[in-house]
Amino acid sequence: LRITVWSLCTKSVSYIKYPKACQQGVAFTKDGRYMAVVERRDCKDFISIFVCNNWQLLRHFDTESQDLFGIEWAPNGCVLAAWDTCLEYKVLLYSLDGRLLSSYRAYEWPLGVKSIAWSPSSQFLAIGSFDEKVRILNHVTWKKITELDHPATISSKNTIVYKEVEKSPTVDTERLTFPPTRALASSLFSTQSKYEISQMPVSLQYTKPVADRANPKVGVGMLAFSADNCFLATKNDNIPNAVWIWDIRKLKLSVVLEQLSSIQGFQWDPCQPRLAVCTGSSRVYLWSPAGCVVVQVPGEGDFQITSISWHPSGDSMLLLSKENFCVCYLEREEV
């Protein structure tokens, strides 16, 4: 229908017609100066760029796409990436002034782009697709520099695979008291887990999706670059329990985290190369190049973490479940 922009200071109203209701139809640049909106009129896609100061239309251009699925600004605010529906693999790159810089198409018929992520320096654009691969384009030529594959068996010697392993709690039967203290009760019934390094070669749990359903759980569904531009975390929906961490400087797979249940989400620390992963259990998993750790959220009952959000300062993060949320503080080590 339309987007209405209300100014909370002045009483001005602005309307934007024909916005498209797609997954990522509206995108703001990092500095918040420009806003791009996907519009669709007469079965054709258009992108409009607005200046956020006064909501004036800056540029309006059509795209050579079948059915634009989403747009995302590069962190430097000068390039806009737009990708097509999953039926068609097409990634279009537009400059701020509306010129088409480049278009990228890896293959024609199989299902296409599933997820996209820009690197913080705007140097790389990672495209995750339904064929379980991530293709990385560089910002100079907008051509593919590498393909990252997610096979079910990992046999390279340079990769470390951390596997989450449950350990049953040790209970001192002599120390049992009645009535049981809260700490004891929670520790008795909650299962602890820790990470173990698996021996090569490792074969991960691979699930083949049902072929005749739409939107299959196939392909690279989650992509995220670390804040220092050194790592890329991906999730292959065919292997739902694993987080793949790639070293961007070497363009090689560096670490795989294998969890006990399927990954719900992960997010990088805005300041350091630290990744927080949640899998729907009451534990949050942290990885950094120094190692990885399992953090149990203390609480009674089940606290199923479904999403994570870091504080911009990198000191704390928000853990969200269906009905509750928890703030987790990360203490700095006293030197």
Residue number with CB closer to other proteins (87 or 185) = 87
Residue 269 CA to residue 283 CA, distance in Å, equals 17
Residues that bind other proteins (CB under 8 A): 1, 4, 6-12, 14, 33-34, 40, 42-43, 51, 53-56, 58-59, 66-67, 76-78, 87, 95-97, 109, 140
| Phi and psi, residue 50, nearest 5° | -115, 150
Residue number with CB closer to other proteins (108 or 334) = 108
Residue number with CB closer to other proteins (39 or 237) = 39
Task: Please give the distance of CA 132 from its chain centroid, rounded to a whole number.
Answer: 15
Q: Where are the alpha helices (DSSP H) in the chain?
A: 182-189
Residue number with CB closer to other proteins (66 or 296) = 66
Residue number with CB closer to other proteins (43 or 327) = 43
Task: Please give the distance of CA 226 from its chain centroid, rounded to a whole number.
Answer: 10
Q: Do the beta carbons of residue 234 and residue 150 sit within 8 Å?
A: yes
Residue number with CB closer to other proteins (44 or 194) = 44
Residue whose token pair is 């999953």: 86
Residue number with CB closer to other proteins (7 or 261) = 7
Residue 115 CA to residue 224 CA, distance in Å, equals 10
Describe the chain by its helix, strand, coil percentages, rounded to 5. Answer: 5, 50, 50
DSSP code, position 334: P
Smallest gap from residue 26 Cβ to other proteins (A) = 18
Edge-to-edge order in the sheet of strand 252-258: 192-197, 160-167, 252-258, 242-247, 231-236, 220-225
Residue number with CB closer to other proteins (77 or 273) = 77
Smallest gap from residue 93 Cβ to other proteins (A) = 14
Residue 298 CA to residue 309 CA, distance in Å, equals 18
Smallest gap from residue 43 Cβ to other proteins (A) = 4
Edge-to-edge order in the sheet of strand 307-310: 307-310, 316-320, 325-329
Smallest gap from residue 11 Cβ to other proteins (A) = 5
Instruction: Please enumerate in sequence order all residues whose Cβ is within 8 A of that of 175, keeping only pairs 6 or more positions apart, or say none.
Output: none
Closest CA to 257 of 314, 209, 223, 266: 266
Instruction: Please enumerate in sequence order all residues whose Cβ is within 8 A of that of 84, keeping only pairs 6 or more positions apart, or say none.
Output: 65, 66, 67, 68, 69, 90, 91, 92, 112, 113
Residue whose token pair is 């985290």: 257
